[in-house]
Structure 1
Amino acid sequence: MKSIEPAIKADERPRAGEKILRVARDLFYRQGIRAIGVDEIVRRAGVTKPSLYRSFPSKDELAASYLRQYDLEFWARFDAAVAAHPGDPRAQIAAFLTRIGKRTQKPDYRGCGMTNAAVEYPERGHPARVVSEANKQELRRRLSAMAAAMGAGDADTLGDGLLLLIEGAYISGQLFGAGGPAKSVARNADLLIEASLKK
């Protein structure tokens, strides 16, 4: 049977750096950044170590590049939830957290790459930690702003409460898997919002 997929021309093949990042992303997410060595990455990517180091000066920079890509995708999902419910921050949060809750129920779920990296790299200046902290600080800022837009009397406390629920979902999703408490993160967030708005 003839393949219906078009042949890839040599100039269309993924560059070594893209292949390395794609492979590293999968390995880092599934097994952890520190658990994976560059030998495993280059072997699976089908490239040489010099190719890796031409694209990424160090494994630390490769980890930071993975997290920068993860960050872009994270904010694309967050922004999609916001765009789906213009002017309604409560519905925006519900949409975003519903997606997180569903994601935590998948068998291959390994939590949030940003949270995992922050746990793996406690040293504040590490490139991976810097990207992770920036993501979490921005999420905290946005949640607080959304809480204020809902009219919460103490928007920062509500924003922090929502952030704690999100981080708890990331971890409990790994611990409990399907049927675990992370599936109800959106409902718990709505209860927290309701209680905060009544004050």
Structure 2
Amino acid sequence: MTASTSRPRRVAKLPPRERILDAAEELFQSEGIRRVGVQAIAERAETTKMAIYRHFETKDALVMEWLRIVAADYQGAFDRVEARHPGRPREQILGLARFIADGLPSISHRGCPFINSIAELPDRSHPARQVIETHKAHQTRSLVGMCTEAGLRDPAQAAAAITFVLEGAQVSAHNGSIDQAGDHLMRIVEGILTQHGSSPDAPPASPEDS
């Protein structure tokens, strides 16, 4: 989700709608949703406000589409981790933790787009806020499923603990409160798996055991 360093040449090659989304992403990430106006997005995208409104009825619609793309990018990364470790739920969980840990240096500069956006969207009925909550709920269900397949005792509780760690690591990386947050993240997730009964050789739980 990091902006390209050769952005002027990139912008010139993008279709108008993608150019607008690219500019919106960069500005929302660096300055926040509320501080960025449509005119600023138009200037960054090398287009006009009228052109933006041809593609997006309102600024809120643009924010919602940007967050949909962010959610899809995250889900795609999670899907790749699952595919990389078929039938190995413990390794899938550790892969998700490693994905977040590896992304912490970027988050330390720009923050998590979901956490940043929620802070600016206190109304839970806001369509963009609902995109985030739907995405997070889907990830929670996936993580509970992995914990179940890994044979963990109380999969929902284990998934909740892992989620707390993943979310907390991103906040800590952003505010600089903990050094080497990625290393701490991996050790804590490994500890949760051990505490709840998972080991490298633990077989997945069978349907008869649930």
5+ residue gaps, structure 2, are 1-8, 199-210
- Counterparts in 2 of 1:31-180, with a 5 A limit? 31-106=31-106, 109-176=109-176, 179-180=179-180
Worse-matched range after superposition: 89-98 or 56-65: 89-98
1:66-102 deviation line (CA, Å, top 9, x unaligned): 0011111101110111111111111111112112112
- Offset of residue 151 of structure 1: 1.0
Aligned residues: 188
Counterpart residue identity of residue 29, structure 2: Y
- Offset of residue 143 of structure 1: 0.9
Match of 1:18 in 2: 18
Counterpart residue identity of residue 142, structure 1: S
Q: Distance in 2 between matches of 1:28 and 1:98?
A: 26
Secondary structure of the corresponding residue to residue 34 of structure 1: coil
- Offset of residue 114 of structure 1: 1.8
- Offset of residue 177 of structure 1: 7.9
Identity of aligned residues (%): 31
Q: TM-score scaled to structure 1, two decimals?
A: 0.87
1:153-181 deviation line (CA, Å, top 9, x unaligned): 21111111111111101111101189442
Q: Distance in 1 between matches of 2:195 and 2:136?
A: 24
Q: TM-score scaled to structure 2, two decimals?
A: 0.83
Counterpart residue identity of residue 173, structure 2: G
Q: Tell me if structure 1 keeps the 8 A contact 2:169–2:185.
A: yes
Q: Distance in 2 between matches of 1:157 and 1:107?
A: 27
Q: Distance in 2 between matches of 1:187 and 1:78?
A: 20
Q: Distance in 1 between matches of 2:157 and 2:129?
A: 25
Counterpart residue identity of residue 162, structure 2: L
After superposing on structure 2, the runs of 4+ consecutive aligned residues of structure 1 that deviate more than 4 Å are none
Match of 2:3 in 1: none
Q: Tell me if structure 2 keeps the 8 A contact 1:105–1:178.
A: no
5+ residue gaps, structure 1, are 1-7
Q: Tell me if structure 2 keeps the 8 A contact 1:20–1:45.
A: yes
- Offset of residue 40 of structure 1: 0.9
